[in-house]
């Protein structure tokens, strides 16, 4: 978290609002359509913000910053807390490994459920004869 005492000592991010907004979306791994759905606006509105054709209303900035995990000051002026940069190597491979392990557990559970359903169906079929 950025120290509020030193925020004015930081070199500001020289990008535009749209550039910072777009980078924060990328860091959250969201596209304009997904973000628009979460925020309750049209995807064209989000695209307009990304391309600097328009700016969000002030009342939306707090929610936007919260969804993106950045400060309002960073979005507007390029100072303050920006998006978290992820290390592509180790973190990504750990995430994929965790997802694979979860999928394998779900696969095993699904196999057990299928077997139990087959047993139940066989029992019902023989009971009905």
The CATH number of residue 58's host domain is: 1.10.260.40
* Same domain, residue pair 94 and 59: no
- Bigger pLDDT: 92 vs 8: 92
The CB-side HSE value for 16 (13 A sphere, CA atoms) comes to 11
- Domain end: 77, 98, 117, which one? 77
CB of 21 closer than 8 Å to CB of 50: yes
Q: Is the dihedral of CA 77, 78, 79, 81 positive or negative?
A: positive
User: Which pair of structure tokens corresponds to residue 93?
Assistant: 């491979």
**Percent of the chain at pLDDT exceeding 90:** 48
pLDDT at position 40 is 94
* Same domain, residue pair 124 and 94: yes
Q: How many domains does the chain have?
A: 2
* Same domain, residue pair 11 and 48: yes
* Same domain, residue pair 42 and 68: yes
Answer whether 0.85 is exceeded by the pTM: no
For the stretch 42-93, pLDDT in tens is 999 999 999 999 999 988 999 999 999 999 998 998 888 888 765 455 566 7
Q: Is residue 1 part of a domain?
A: no
8: pLDDT strictly greater than 60: no
């Amino acid at each position: 978290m950025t120290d509020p005492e030193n925020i004015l000592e930081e070199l500001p991010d020289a990008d535009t609002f749209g550039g910072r907004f777009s980078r924060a979306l990328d860091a959250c791994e969201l596209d304009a359509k997904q973000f628009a759905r979460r925020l309750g606006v049209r995807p064209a509105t989000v695209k307009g913000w990304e391309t600097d054709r328009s700016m969000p209303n002030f009342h939306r900035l707090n929610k936007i910053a919260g969804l993106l995990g950045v400060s309002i000051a960073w979005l507007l002026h390029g100072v303050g807390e920006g998006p978290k940069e992820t290390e592509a190597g180790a973190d990504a491979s750990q995430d994929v490994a965790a997802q694979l392990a979860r999928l394998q557990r779900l696969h095993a559970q699904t196999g057990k459920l299928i077997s139990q359903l087959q047993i139940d169906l066989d029992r019902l079929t023989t009971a009905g004869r």
